[in-house]
Amino acid sequence: MTRAQQTVSVGLLVTSLYLALYLGLIPLPALISNEIIPFLPFWALVTFGAYLLFKLGWGVFTFNDVPEAHAELMKEIDLAKAELRTKGVDID
C-alpha cells in the first residue's frame, strides 16, 4: 500500500467516524453531541496548524545542528555567487 493510499484510507475512516457521530448514528449524551462534535473539525484544523508551525519553528531553531545540510546550502550559495559573477553581477 502506498503512502497516498494509506493517507486516503485514514482520511476516509476519520471522516466516516465523524459523520456517524455528527448524524447521531452513534448515540452520545446530548451535551457532547450538541456542543463538542460540531466543533471537532475546527479544533482538528487548529491543532494541525499549531503542530505544523511548531515543526517549522523547531526546524529553523535546530538548523545549525545539521552540519550536512548547512554545508550543502553553503556550497549552493557559493555556486550561485560564482554563476552570478560570470554574468557580471556585483556581489558583496
pLDDT in tens, 52-61: 999 999 988 8
- pLDDT at residue 66 greater than cutoff 80: no
Write down the pTM of the prediction.
Answer: 0.59
- How many angstroms separate the CA atoms of 57 and 44, rounded? 20
Mean pLDDT of 5-19: 96
**pLDDT computed for residue 86 by the predictor:** 92
Three cell numbers written together for 14: 476519520
Tell whether the torsion through CA atoms of 16, 23, 31 and 49 is positive or negative. Answer: positive
- How many angstroms separate the CA atoms of 37 and 21, rounded? 7
Residue-wise pLDDT tens digits, 15-43? 999 999 999 999 999 999 999 999 999 99
- How many angstroms separate the CA atoms of 51 and 41, rounded? 15
